[in-house]
Structure 1
Amino acid sequence: MDNVIRAIGDRAFSQRISRRSVLGAMMAAGVGVLTACGRTGEMAANVAPDGQLEDKLNIYTWGDYDDPEVLRAFSDRYDVVLQVDSYGSNEELMAKLGASRGTSGYDIVCPTDLEIPQLVENNLIQKLDMSLIPNFDTIDAAFKSQQHDPNDEYSIIKAWGTTGFVYDVQAISEELTSWEDFIRVAQDQASGATLLLEDPWEVVSIGLAAKGYDLNSSDEGELEEAREIVVEQIAPHVRAYASTVSTPMIQGGFKLLQAFNGDARQGFLEVSDPERWKYVFPTPTANLWTDTWCLATGAPHPDAAHEFINYIIAPEQATVEADYIGYSTGSKVFNDPDIEEQYDYPDLIFPDAEIVDRLTPSMRLGGEQTRVDIFTAAQVRSGS
């Protein structure tokens, strides 16, 4: 079973594509078949007549966002051929599902939490049968009954993370702790060597946070103040916009990089001189995002989909997944403080409670087009 196709080859010899990485091509993971291993006991209505799960499962998710060994183990155990295609943004996912209207052929999709209400409203995802996912009990209560799905009907947490920045401590002579520090140093010691995320919400949030405003603000006056910071103060000093920082950290040429915590951890694991870099969970706030497991409307293999979700959220898989992707999966298993000792750079996977308490969950409250306009103007100002 060696035919799991990775986005850029073997993990030991390549820079992994992050959960936010823009991926144009699809990643087909043709995870092989061994002996039949049908589920016994009560079956859902879509189980094949012989009592086995459907023999295929199609997943549409962020690039390189699951450990191939975990996928292979599921395929081997349940005799299911697994195909994994990847997207680079929630917008790409929404467009695919919206165009197909229930005929995409995908069973499982992995949108970010703020997209759930819109997906439900447009009938692009369907309710989960929670009786087929008993391992939902292993999910920490903090990640249940969230605003995007208050009754836990449509989604289950896949991973959660936040946004901050990495800086080169050899090139920047002061300790950085805030978004105000980020803005100031971008114009000075890191001018021409700053990287911003390829994400309008995240980039505009730098300006909103620095001014002490709600990151979800739809107030045009506040967004205009953020525009001045992003477009006029930061953008002229930005060298690139990207969705992952590990490759830029390795290749060099950058001193200050806006980054997701798990992606930054991957950079620390891959660079030859990790002591040169420091990750900051900046004050006063930053995004708290959650990616989720959902069942696509028209899923052709719903029983296999439920079995997969139940399998991958179990504690045994949750711990492996967290190490591979660099983000906590929301499992109760992580409530044991000793478990952090199993991981490299555990502080990047499991931020302290003091940090989590000041984060802001992203929501759609208006102003989305303004954010896109600000981001576009920033890219033009940067010459990107």
Structure 2
Amino acid sequence: MRARGAALLLALLVPGACGEPAARPEVVEAYGARVETAGLGDRLHLFIWPDYLDPGLVREFEQAYGVDVVIDYYDNNEALIAKLGAGGAGQYDVVVASDYAVEVLRGQGRLQPLEHAHIPNLKNLDARFRALPFDPGNVVSVCYQWGTSGLGIRTDLLRVDVPLDTWRLVFDSALAPGPFTMLSDPRETIGAALLYLGHSANSTDPAALAAAERLLVAQRSRVLTYTSFATGRDLLLSGDAVVAHNYSGDVLMAKAEVPAIRFVIPHEGAILWTDNLAVPAGAPHKRLAEVFINFLLDADVGARLSNFTRYASPNAAALPRIDPALRGDPAVYPDSAVLARLEILRDLGPARALYDRIWTRLRAGG
């Protein structure tokens, strides 16, 4: 689940500690693996959501392996899919793709199989994340972080007295909770409408989708803005938004600054997502990519990652090292009753066009 502003692509070259890559050792024995550095390449290109990787971990990887890490950012999975489809697959060594995006990219032949022998820390993954429905056995992807999509609420500014765990706050026109934002993401926002109406977030039923579109059109004039998770988080922090459709970790980042902010998972259902590390077909430095994936799966690194992002870790070995307050927060690690009403987004195949048309009409105002 992350540049401020829609469709914004930023590039950041994160230098080594002194502005130059560290001297490269011939062999690195660390993070559960012995790596001969000859032939790794000297630069790793990563495509990832903003605010989603501790810069300290980037510097540590650079110094350990004597490489530079170059990072490009995207705001939603559709931008990632479009970039790789427009010739970007050969530009990146590692991409972070959500569940259904892995399915789409794999179906397009834009991801290559991982060499598990190069990623011994795969053993650290919780068994549930080694059998995800879109890539059982981690053939082309490895879970990076997971979380939920729901509502961030400024409880100190909310203008209505209703239960908080409901999509009614953004879809019921009879309520006036205050200014609210929706994610500028077709699968998330159409999915939320479907769930509120009692349908699957993966529905391809024309009648269900038509009802969801009517709901979203009726809602449109009341939406403060359709925005990225980062801007939605900032608007919640400033108080310009009272409710924000957003991702769990981003709301919890905001809560650390404004304790009155709360993240809720609507009782009508919500989306459980996983973000996954994958290597594009044509990646210039596949072996280095697998070294990087193995590094991120180290138990200590995995804990530091989640402590930074405020998202849940799929890394069972990391769990005891994660901040106890985070580990014990049901907004981060929902209980079994909540998990039972969550859905993972899947690739819709040809039905993707239905969602695209709804989204285009909604954003065009027609």
User: Which residue matches 1:327?
Assistant: 311
Q: What CA distance in whole angstroms lies between the structure 1 residues aligned with 2:216 and 2:205?
A: 16
Contact kept in structure 1, 2:307 and 2:322, CA below 8 Å: no
Matched, 1:310 2:315: no
Classify 1:187/1:27 alpha carbon distance in 2 versus 1 (closer, same or farther; 3 Å).
Answer: farther
Any idea what the Cα deviations from partners look like across 1:17-63, whole Å, max 9, x if unmatched?
Answer: 58x9743322332344223233369989xx66xx4632221111112
Contact kept in structure 1, 2:100 and 2:347, CA below 8 Å: yes
Contact kept in structure 2, 1:190 and 1:256, CA below 8 Å: yes
RMSD, aligned CA: 2.7
User: Which residue matches 2:333?
Assistant: 350
Percent identical pairs in the alignment equals 26
Q: CA deviation at 1:168?
A: 2.7
Contact kept in structure 1, 2:144 and 2:276, CA below 8 Å: yes
In structure 1, which of residues 207, 220, 228 is the aligned counterpart of residue 214 of structure 2?
228
Q: Which runs of 5+ in 2 are unaligned?
A: none
What are the equivalent positions in structure 2 for 1:47-66 lying under 5 Å apart? 51=38, 53-66=40-53
Matched, 1:81 2:68: yes
User: Which residue matches 1:155?
Assistant: 141
Of residues 114-123 and 155-164 in structure 1, the stretch that sits farther from structure 2 once superposed is 114-123
Q: What CA distance in whole angstroms lies between the structure 2 residues aligned with 1:54 and 1:284?
A: 49
Q: What CA distance in whole angstroms lies between the structure 2 residues aligned with 1:223 and 1:174?
A: 27
In structure 1, which of residues 82, 93, 96 is the aligned counterpart of residue 83 of structure 2?
96
TM-score by length of 2: 0.88
SS in 2 for 1:318: helix
Any idea what the Cα deviations from partners look like across 1:118-162, whole Å, max 9, x if unmatched?
Answer: 322322111111001000000000111222112321000011111
User: Which residue matches 2:117?
Assistant: 131
Classify 1:379/1:252 alpha carbon distance in 2 versus 1 (closer, same or farther; 3 Å).
Answer: farther
User: Which residue matches 1:174?
Assistant: 162
Matched, 1:240 2:225: yes
What are the equivalent positions in structure 2 for 1:259-278 lying under 5 Å apart? 259-271=246-258, 274-275=259-260, 277-278=261-262
Amino acid at match of 2:334: P
Classify 1:174/1:43 alpha carbon distance in 2 versus 1 (closer, same or farther; 3 Å).
Answer: closer
Classify 1:21/1:333 alpha carbon distance in 2 versus 1 (closer, same or farther; 3 Å).
Answer: farther
In structure 2, which of residues 4, 10, 13 is the aligned counterpart of residue 25 of structure 1?
10
SS in 1 for 2:279: strand
Amino acid at match of 2:110: L
Q: What CA distance in whole angstroms lies between the structure 1 residues aligned with 2:110 and 2:316?
A: 29
Contact kept in structure 1, 2:298 and 2:318, CA below 8 Å: no
Q: What CA distance in whole angstroms lies between the structure 1 residues aligned with 2:223 and 2:88?
A: 39
Contact kept in structure 2, 1:160 and 1:289, CA below 8 Å: yes
Classify 1:149/1:344 alpha carbon distance in 2 versus 1 (closer, same or farther; 3 Å).
Answer: closer
Classify 1:138/1:319 alpha carbon distance in 2 versus 1 (closer, same or farther; 3 Å).
Answer: same
Amino acid at match of 1:84: I
Any idea what the Cα deviations from partners look like across 1:307-355, whole Å, max 9, x if unmatched?
Answer: 111011111011111121121230003555x845254983333222322
Q: What CA distance in whole angstroms lies between the structure 1 residues aligned with 2:285 and 2:9?
A: 25
Q: CA deviation at 1:84?
A: 1.2
In structure 1, which of residues 142, 147, 157 is the aligned counterpart of residue 128 of structure 2?
142
In structure 2, which of residues 268, 272, 280 is the aligned counterpart of residue 284 of structure 1?
268
Q: Which runs of 5+ in 1 are unaligned?
A: 1-15
Any idea what the Cα deviations from partners look like across 1:77-116, whole Å, max 9, x if unmatched?
Answer: 1111111111222222222222227532x11111112122
Amino acid at match of 2:317: V
User: Which residue matches 2:190?
Assistant: 204
In structure 2, which of residues 34, 59, 78 is the aligned counterpart of residue 72 of structure 1?
59
The aligned length equals 354
